[in-house]
């Protein structure tokens, strides 16, 4: 596995991850953080990475092919503000985003829609963490 940058390693380390968790990463290309998360949520866990960029999705699929093949990681081409659970898909325990304009204030209108969709995809008590804290901050979903 390619080593994470110190900043990304600190973010992944700060995530409150446990084995068996279902995690949603928003805007996760090229997949480095997701691969590190896989190590902390197994056995039984799963991370779904969504990205609005088709190129980003292709990068994740290439970089995390082993984790995808083992069922630890999934990837979907969709923007955060359009994301919905698929039929019969269980909700997520935790969501996180790093440098996602819809969630860090750069695109406020998209952020409103993204928070609504993410909130609906989380299990009761689920949390959304984004970068910009020390190193993460929790985002209010209400």
CATH label of the domain that carries residue 74: 3.40.50.150
**46-51 β-sheet, strand order:** 73-77, 46-51, 22-26, 92-97, 122-131, 136-138
- Residue 58 domain-assigned (yes or no): yes
- For 119-132, what is each residue's pLDDT tens digit? 999 999 999 999 98
Does position 140 have pLDDT exceeding 90, yes or no? no
**Dihedral in degrees, nearest 10, Cα atoms 69, 73, 79, 85:** 100
Total of domains in the chain: 1
- Residue 1 domain-assigned (yes or no): no
- For 37-90, what is each residue's pLDDT tens digit? 999 999 999 999 999 999 999 999 999 999 999 999 999 999 999 999 999 999
Domain limits at 81? 6-138
Contacts of 53 (CB under 8 A, 6+ apart): 29, 77
Which SS3 state, helix, strand or coil, does residue 94 take? strand
- Residue 38 domain-assigned (yes or no): yes
- The pLDDT mean for the chain works out to 94
User: What is the average pLDDT across 96-105?
Assistant: 91
- For 1-37, what is each residue's pLDDT tens digit? 557 999 999 999 999 999 999 999 999 999 999 999 9
Angle at CA of residue 75, ends 106 and 77, nearest 5°: 55
- Residue 97 domain-assigned (yes or no): yes
């Amino acid at each position: 596995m390619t080593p994470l940058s110190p900043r990304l390693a600190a973010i992944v380390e700060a995530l409150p991850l446990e084995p068996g968790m279902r995690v949603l990463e928003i805007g996760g290309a090229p997949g480095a953080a997701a691969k590190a998360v896989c190590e902390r949520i197994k056995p039984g866990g799963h991370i779904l990475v969504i990205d609005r960029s088709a190129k980003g999705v292709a990068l994740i699929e290439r970089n995390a092919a082993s984790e995808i093949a083992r069922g630890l990681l999934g990837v979907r081409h969709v923007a955060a503000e359009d994301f919905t659970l698929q039929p019969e898909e269980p909700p997520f325990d935790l969501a996180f985003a790093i440098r996602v304009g819809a969630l860090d204030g750069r695109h406020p209108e998209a952020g409103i829609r993204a928070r609504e969709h993410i909130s609906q995809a989380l299990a009761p008590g689920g949390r959304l963490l984004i970068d910009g804290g020390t190193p993460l901050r929790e985002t209010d979903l209400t």
